[in-house]
Amino acid sequence: MIGENLLGPEPTLLAADTAVSEALASGADPEAVVREHPDSPRAWAVLADAADAEGREVEAYAFARVGYHRGLDSLRKSGWRGAGPVPWSHEPNRGVLRALYALRRAAGRIGETSEVERLTEFLNGADPEVIRAIEAGH
């Protein structure tokens, strides 16, 4: 633990978004979920993932960008001040982290390298294991 800031901010732990989780788990169309829950970063991340899987890179980027902003809104409402841990292990945080990852991936696909670097730093600061966890299929 040498060098670790023990006085750093407490981890941000978002509240569960049960309605979105249940809708997506039931197989609801991601676009319908976004229409019903436009403030959900998780719903936008799922929509971005679907667009990416279909090779619709610009749409994936746009969906992920909205999810990113919705995620920042959620984090701030929960007391996050622009830095500090957002642990992947806390399941309700995963929507925000997936939106950040989706934006990082989409930015890479369209050649926005500075955004990829910034989001890599953001994700590593939130949880050093999150990129690996997402890429491993969570």
- Could you report the per-residue pLDDT of 18-29, keeping only the tens digit for each? 999 999 999 999
The answer to whether residue 88 is domain-embedded is: yes
Total domains, the chain:
1
Residue 93 has pLDDT above 60, yes or no: yes
In a domain, 117, yes or no: yes
Asked if the structure places residue 46 within a domain, the reply is yes
Report yes or no on 84 lying in a domain.
Answer: yes
Per-residue pLDDT tens for 29-80? 999 999 999 999 999 999 999 999 999 999 999 999 999 999 999 999 999 9
CATH number of domain containing 37: 1.25.40
* Contact status, residue 95 vs residue 106, Cβ threshold 8 Å: no
Task: Return the closest-CA partner of residue 71 out of 103, 101, 34, 97.
Answer: 97
41-53 and 18-25 are packed helices; what angle lies between their axes, rounded to 10 degrees?
30
| Helices first, then strands: H and E counts in the chain | 7, 0
**Cut 0.85: pTM above it:** yes
